[in-house]
Amino acid sequence: MTLELGVLLSGRGSNLQSILDAIACGALDARVRLVVSNRAEAQGLERARKAGIPSLFLDHRGYPDRSAYERELVQRLGAAGVEWVVLAGFMRIVTRELLGAFPERVVNIHPSLLPAFPGLDAQAQALAYGVAMTGCTVHLVDEGVDHGPILAQASLAVEPEDTRETLSARLLDREHALLVATLQRIAEGDLTVSPPADAGGRPRVSWRGGPPRA
Ligand code: GRF
What's the pLDDT tens digit per position in 143-190?
A: 999 999 999 999 999 999 999 999 999 999 999 999 999 999 999 999
Give the model confidence (pLDDT) of 31-65 as tens digits.
Answer: 999 999 999 999 999 999 999 999 999 999 999 99
147 in any annotated domain = no
Active site includes 110? yes
The domain total for the chain is: 2
* Residues 113, 207 within the same domain: yes
* Residues 69, 169 within the same domain: no
* Residues 96, 191 within the same domain: no
8 Å CB contact between 85 and 102:
yes
Amino acid letter for position 85: V
Those residues with Cβ within 8 angstroms of residue 198's Cβ, 6 or more apart along the chain or in another chain: none
8 Å CB contact between 127 and 164:
yes
Given a cut of 90, is residue 78 above it in pLDDT? yes
Q: Predicted confidence band at 25 (pLDDT cuts at 50, 70, 90)?
A: very high
Kindly give the distance from the C-alpha atom of residue 70 to the centroid of ligand 1, in angstroms, as a whole number. 21
Report d(CA 196, CA 194) in Å as an integer: 6
Q: Which residues does a 6 A CB cutoff place in the pocket of ligand 1? A: 9, 11-15, 44, 88-89, 109-111, 175
CATH number for the domain spanning 161: value is: 3.40.50.170
* Residues 127, 40 within the same domain: no
30 in any annotated domain = yes
* Residues 45, 132 within the same domain: no
**120: domain range?**
109-139+153-214
8 Å CB contact between 14 and 171:
no
148 in any annotated domain = no
Cis geometry, peptide bond prior to residue 115 (ω within 30 degrees of 0): yes
* Residues 5, 85 within the same domain: yes
